[in-house]
Every structure is written in structure tokens, then in C-alpha cells.
Amino acid sequence: MANAPSAGLVAADPRVLALAAQVAESREQDIPLLLLKLKGILSSASLGSEESKKIKQDIYSYDLTQYCMLVLRQDHFQLHGGWATAAQLAEILSHCCVGLEVKEDPEEFHKKFLPSAIDNLLVLGRRLQARFIQAIKDEEKQDFLRWFQTVTDAICWLLGGHIQLTACVLQSDHFLQLLITDDVETAILMMSVLHNLLKVNSSALLQVDEETLHSVLDELVYKLSSTTNPAIGNAATKLLLVVAKFCKQLVKLLTTRYKGLKGLLSKQWTGKGFDRDLSQLLDLLYLEQSNGKGEMQRQHQAACVIQAMWRGFQTRKRLKKLPQAVTTLQRSFRAKREQELQHLKKQKEDEALKLQMQLQRQRSMRLFHERQLALLKIIHASQVDKYMEEMERKSALTIQRFWRGYRARRNFHQQRQSVKEYKAAVVIQRAVCKFLEKRRRMRSLSSWKDPKGLTDEQRLALQQKVDDYIKLHPASQMSEERSKELHMQAQEKLAQFLLRSRLDQRAAQRRETLLAQVNTDVELLMNAPGLAETTEKDLDVFMSRSVPVATKARQSHNTMLKYTRWPWWKKLGDEFMEDDVIPDDDLNAELGTLFIGGRKSC
């Protein structure tokens, strides 16, 4: 339980005390139904009486109003009775706050409790409005509309009891969201709430900021311009009339911010059943416009004088610059005319060149046909077919040559972008490899730390260990002559080993060369034709020393071409190698089956 009445005061109402005890001992889901009993307790006393004030004071003292606010914040699907219970609790909370005189800490009640209560009621109204718009069945829509009207009545009742909350309501985003709706029923109810609010506190619109005031007025004017429903038009007209009657500043704002409002009201809403309110609003707007005409005329005359002075100054300034402007205009005109003449001259030259090329092509074709006819006259009749076949073959070769050249140029242009991307990828990979190598080097350097210094005690202990080890393992004494002798023996053995290894290496190379030569000869003999079919060309294969060398060079060249066609990821580790160097492993893989060609010269 919360704030119980202090000793020495009048005893609390037993019904409120019993209800507070039940709420404190009940489960959370049973609290909403228990709080509905407050409606009967409040209705038992006449409104405004001392008994009623005493009951409301006891309800607030035992934090039953706080329980109502907590229930309104919960998910209403889990309440017993759902939205109906929430609407009744909103009505109970509003009646509990109106007429309540808090004696202990009234500042907290007026500055924290009441703004929180009105905010909860607005949030509940938004939820009911959304449910009403989403409902499909008529019965369900009527239920949500009735509950929404209950909540709006509770808001109006609370604002009537606490006038200072009007500015808080107008500045609330929830109130603006409730007002900005296209639904007719809820929009009429919200405009009635705004009408009651302005009746209670007509100065509320001047207490809010300019953005909020413009938002409210924009919504009212929008409803007048976007609908033809008389109920919406009547409610919006009454609201604008209340606003215009209250303050002349707002009438001026309506005439300046909404210039077509008078025409809209007179054309669209005349004869819709609320002509009295409409005529009063139009009279106020026209009166403000007529009062502002004198000021507007003076401002118009002053603007005309300023414009005349400025135009005279600009004219005199232009007259001073007129000779220079004429010179500039003439220069630009002559330059443009010269440019057009150059363009026409170039166009004529291009046409003449085109015509000349066409005539030259026709002349060449005519000469070609004349030479062909002259040759046909000279050639014997039996050789004409052969000559025509030769000409057709040459023509076909020419066509093929031009077509292959065109295709090669086209493929080159198509592959240029891929080659550029490949080179870019190689550059990026090289840069990344350098960066990673630099990072690894820096990481290896940064991981090294200076050894920690030894204390005097550690240094003495370490020295003692060294002395003990030297005593246990004394070094053998060796003379300088013995050391020199051992050094000379080691040098002689090293020289003998290097000489032997060099001789063995040369012998191995000699064996590999002879073996490759034998294999090459065997292969040539196996592939050689028979003696009856032997020609001088086959004989040159065995007599020439350069054919095996050429064979090996051709195979090496094919291997090099295959290596250059590899994708970039196979050559990822070769960015920093020379361009003409191929890895030994790759060459061994490709050249493993090749023989060292040639004979003794190989």
C-alpha cells in the first residue's frame, strides 16, 4: 500500500479502505474489475460536496488513482472486459482528479500526476481510434465508437476541472494525431473536444508554439477543403469562429496564411445548414481585410516609390554601359557569323571530298574492269577458266584478310576492358602483398620487448650457478699450436669435399646429357621411315644438329605461352618475380618428358 492517511486526521471511508486492501492482496489480472467499484463509490456522494471531496482524497491517498493509470498503460487484450473496462477506468480516473484538493505535496500532483493522466487518456484514445478504423463489422465499430466517446468525454471533464492542462494537450503529439484523421465520426468527436478546450481556456492557442498553432489551423482548413460532409464543415466552421472571436492576431493569421479561405467558405459551404456561424466567420475575415487595406495601400505606394527609384538607377547605369555593351554585342555577332561561315566552308569541303572519293572509286572500278577485259582478250580461250578461278581465289583471300583484320580489331576492343581489369587486379594484389608484408614485419618488431632487468639478488644467484657449473665442468686446455693444426686439417678436408662434389656434379650432368642424347636418337630412329621411302629431307633430320634444338625450343615456347595464359590466381605469388622468369616447378612439370635435343653440339 501507498500513502495512508496520517494519525490525527478524519478516518478514511471504509469502502475505499476495503477496496484498497482488496487491490493490494489480489492478483494483477483481477485489479481492473476491482477498480470499477470506484464508480459506485464516487456516485454515492453529490458532485462538489464535502463528502465527494473526502472520498476523492482517500482514493488518491491510497494510490487507487495510480492503479488506474497503471492499468491504462497495460495491454487491453489481457484485461477482463477488454476495451470497455479501459474506457470505464478512464472515466473513473477523470472524475477522481476533478474536484480533488491535494494537501500533501500539491506540486507533484499538478506537475507530474495530472500531465501523466491526460497523456494516458490520449494514448487510449489513439488506440480506440485505430481499432474503430480497422473494424469491419457494424456492431464492433459502434462499440469502439462508444468507448472512444467515453474517453473523449473523460478528457473534456478533466480539462474542465484543470484549465492549466489545455496547453499540455494542444502541444501533445497524440492529440494532433487524433485530430489528423480522415474518419468522420472520430474527427467530429475530436473537434468537439477542441471546441470545449477553447471554451474552457480561450487563451490556450496563444500559449503554444507557432508550429503547433499552424498544425491545428492547417488541419481545420484542410477538412473544410477536402470534404463535403456538413457535419465536418459545421464543426470546423465553429472552431474557426471561436478562434477568430478570441484574438485579432489569429484572424490576421487566417487571412494572410489562407488567402483562399473566404472564397472556399462562401462557395462550398453556403446553404449547408450552418449559415449563421458561416456568415459571422466571413464578416470577421472581410472586416480584417478591409482594416488592412489602408495599411496595404500605404505599403503598396511605398513599394512603388522604391521600385521607381531602383528602376531609374538601373536605367542610368545601363545607359552608361551602353557603348561597351554595343561593342560586346558586335564582337559576339561577328564571332558567331565567322563561326557559321567556317562551318559552312568545312561542310562544303567535306562534300567535295566525298564526291571526289566517289568519283575516284568509280574511275578505279572502271579501270579495273577495262584491264580485266584486256587480259581476257589476250588470254587463250582454254586458259580463261583457270584465270577466272585464280581471280576468284585472290578475291576470296582479300575478303578473308579484311574480315580477319576487322574481327581482330573488334576482339581487341572487346578485350581491352578485361585486360585493364586484369592489370588493375595485379596492381591491387601487389599493393596488398606489400602492405601485408609490412604489417607482418611491424608486428614481429612490435612483439619484441626489452628483457626485464635482474635484481641484485637474482644476479648473485645466477653468478653462483655459473661458477658451480664451471667447477663441475672444467674446460680442457689446448695450446695455440694444436688449435692451428686442427684448423688446417679442417680446411683441407673442406677443400677435398668441395672438389669431390664439383667433380660428381659434372659427371652427373655429363651422364644426363648423354642419356638425353641417346633418348633423342632412339626416338628419331623409331619415327624414321623405311629405307625405300627415305628422302633427302629425312636424311637432313639425322645429319642436321639444329633440328632437335629447334624441337626443344618450340616445346619451350609452347610451355611459355601456356604459362602466360594462366589465370591470375595461379600466379598470385609471382608478382615480384621478373617478367621472363618462370618457376622451376612449373617448367619441370611441363618439360619433364622433353629430351635435351641435338648431338655433340647440344
Using one digit for the tens of pLDDT, what is the confidence trace for 547-602?
666 666 777 778 888 878 887 767 655 544 444 444 545 444 444 444 433 333 33
pLDDT reported for residue 586: 47
Which whole-number Å values give the CA distances from 600 to 259, 279, 514, 528, in the listed order?
A: 111, 126, 9, 20
Please report, rounded to a whole number, the percentage of residues in the chain having pLDDT higher than 90: 10
Cell of 101: 484538493
Tell me, rounded to whole angstroms, the distance of Cα 488 from its chain centroid. 79
Q: 429 lies in a domain? A: no
- The sign one gets for the Cα dihedral 126, 127, 128, 133 is positive
pLDDT reported for residue 338: 93
Measured in residues, the chain has a length of 602
Q: 565 lies in a domain? A: yes
Q: 46 lies in a domain? A: no
Q: 244 lies in a domain? A: yes
Side chain identity at residue 446, one-letter code: S
Q: Is 209 left (phi over 0), alpha (psi -120 to 50) or beta?
A: beta
Single residue among 266, 297, 320 that ends a domain in this structure: 320
CA angle 102, 106, 108 (to 5 degrees): 125
Helices (H), 9-97: 14-25, 31-35, 38-43, 50-61, 64-73, 83-97
CA-based nearest residue to 232, from 271, 276, 185: 185
pLDDT reported for residue 594: 41
- Could you count the other beta carbons within 10 Å of the beta carbon of residue 377? 7
Residue 100: CA atoms inside 13 Å, Cβ hemisphere, count? 26
Mean of the per-residue pLDDT values for the chain?
77
Q: pLDDT (tens digit, 9 = 90+) per residue, 250-271?
A: 777 777 777 777 777 777 777 7
Q: 402 lies in a domain? A: no
DSSP, res 111:
I
pTM over 0.85: no
DSSP, res 476:
P
Q: 525 lies in a domain? A: yes
DSSP, res 474:
P
DSSP, res 82:
T
Q: 300 lies in a domain? A: yes
Mean pLDDT, residues 312-317 taken together? 88
Mean pLDDT, residues 190-205 taken together? 78
Q: pLDDT (tens digit, 9 = 90+) per residue, 344-388?
A: 999 999 999 999 999 998 998 899 888 878 877 777 777 778 888
Residue 575 in contact with residue 496, Cβ under 8 Å? no
Residue 568 in contact with residue 496, Cβ under 8 Å? no
pLDDT reported for residue 49: 73
As for how many domains the chain has, the answer is: 2
pLDDT at 509 over 60: yes
First to last CA, the chain: 111
pLDDT reported for residue 596: 39
Give the DSSP letter string of 327-350: HHHHHHHHHHHHHHHHHHHHHHHH
Which whole-number Å values give the CA distances from 281 to 155, 215, 287, in the listed order?
A: 28, 20, 10
Which whole-number Å values give the CA distances from 573 to 344, 432, 437, 562, in the listed order?
A: 61, 12, 13, 17
Q: Is 46 left (phi over 0), alpha (psi -120 to 50) or beta?
A: beta
Mean pLDDT, residues 81-107 taken together? 77
Single residue among 295, 320, 345 that ends a domain in this structure: 320
Which whole-number Å values give the CA distances from 371 to 331, 367, 368, 374, 390, in the listed order?
A: 59, 6, 5, 5, 15
DSSP, res 583:
-
Confidence of residue 451 (pLDDT cuts 50, 70, 90): low
Domain that holds residue 243: 209-320
Q: 218 lies in a domain? A: yes
pLDDT reported for residue 359: 92
pLDDT at 10 over 50: yes
Single residue among 302, 320, 338 that ends a domain in this structure: 320
Confidence of residue 341 (pLDDT cuts 50, 70, 90): very high
Residue 3 in 3-state DSSP? coil
Cell of 113: 500526476
